[in-house]
Structure 1
Amino acid sequence: MTSDVTDESAVRVADRWTLAWRSSWLPDRLLTRAQALAAMVLAECVTDGYPSDEKVQGRMIASAGELGVPVEQAVFVLLKRRSA
């Protein structure tokens, strides 16, 4: 999975496994396809910094929940990667 608004990506690393995806910003975890998509949604949401739009914040919270990480931690990691 790639994005036209961020450099982050997710790649399928195995066939026939439930946990078959790896996200560029969560490289130490194997993810389901739904989790990989959630990782991409989070990455796109913080492209321009932390959004003030409540609808976008809700999408971020849901995506972080899918990944099992606090939204604050996800935002921190993504913003840190973007500034590197």
Structure 2
Amino acid sequence: MVNAPTHLIDTNIMISWLTARYPQVQQHIAQLDSRYIFVSAITVAELYFGAHNSARPLENWTRETHYGKSNPSVIYDVGRHNSR
């Protein structure tokens, strides 16, 4: 059982963080212990769906894929599969 505060990041916050649209979001997340930051499979699927259907799918897909490879607490295989 985890005794530290945990954070489940939703889709809107992930988009804000990935796009650097709101620097205060990036600053806040940077202060958190990354071992206790989580993203649900639903959020992952929404990110992949959005990237796939965006005006810049390759750019957005690359950003989402890079995030998944560098953050093991994200279940990308489930999200990638369910987003299609």
More strand by share: 1
TM-score over 0.5 for the alignment? no
TM-score of the superposed pair, with normalisation by structure 1: 0.37
TM-score of the superposed pair, with normalisation by structure 2: 0.37
Higher relative contact order, chain-length normalized (CA < 8 Å, sep 6+): 2
Larger radius of gyration: 2
